[in-house]
Amino acid sequence: MGKKQDVREFLLITLGTVLVSAGVYFFKFPNHFSMGGVSGLAVLLGELFPHAWLTPSVFNTLINLLFLVLGFLLLDKGFGFRTVYCSLLYSALVQVFEWLCPLSEPLTGELMLELFFAVLLPALGSAILFNLDASTGGTDIAAMILKKYTGLDVGRALLCSDVLIAAAALLVFDITAGLCSLLGLVLKSVLVDSAIESLNRRKAFMIVTSHPEIASDFITQTLIRGATVWDAQGAYTQKEHHIVLTVLSRGQAVLLRRYLKEHDPQAFMIVTNSSEIFGKGFLQA
């Protein structure tokens, strides 16, 4: 089971990195969207130093490698293998995309469509990576270094740097690129949080019933999940009841509702969404 989980996480990390790389190269770079971070800085430097071989992809790779070296020198064992893998893969993929599919202009003539994918793909990829305690490096490594050696509010410092990088597009390019970069930065932060919450979303059940064995047996033996049962008493009827508490995936929640509708139709269910569940089978605290 552990090996399968490791393979699954490795594939998800790779998928997340591919999504970030594709969004950056095919949609950010051609449109001059500098939405903060290393890729945004690379877009600006590519315009400020217009040499044939100093493309945004090259700057992206150089900056990421620089942060990796600093991470190795300053962070020691706190520097995670997943971040190293994702950072190297991300830099390599962007460079490979440039070699295989050089772009001199945007893929389409639809600016908002390009902005949508420039935000969506990296946001989804980043959410997958953050959910597995990984990242593509860059400013995340800078944050680790700042956190270790200074007393700065790292989150606020990185946010300010991202805003400055995005706003710089107003001066380096034009007002369209600058406004799109600022808008993209806002949308990305919202989408990453929403995507992470969606990936972790589970259904918490609180079932009030006179026959707790019906629900608990189905949960533990069929769904292979844990459940907690405790005694309760109706406030009006004073009758004895039982409460079954469990947390399930969305697919399992549908199965449980169908089962109880057929086998315990009198059961009273409270179902809530939760994306922060810690413990065995869920997130690590």
pLDDT confidence bin for 280, thresholds 50/70/90: low
- Between CA 195 and CA 127 the distance in angstroms is 6
For range 239-266, the mean pLDDT: 92
Q: What is the DSSP string of 226-273?
A: --EEEEEE-TTT--EEEEEEEEE-HHHHHHHHHHHHHH-TT-EEEEEE
For range 81-92, the mean pLDDT: 87
Q: What is the pLDDT of residues 136-169, one digit of tens each?
A: 877 777 776 776 676 666 566 677 778 888 899 8
Q: What is the pLDDT of residues 232-245, one digit of tens each?
A: 988 888 889 999 99
Please report the domains of the chain, with CATH numbers, ordered by start residue. Answer: 2-199 (no CATH), 201-274 (3.30.70.120)
For range 112-135, the mean pLDDT: 87
User: How much is the pTM?
Assistant: 0.76
pLDDT of res. 152: 62
Percentage with pLDDT > 90 across the chain: 41
- Between CA 10 and CA 16 the distance in angstroms is 10
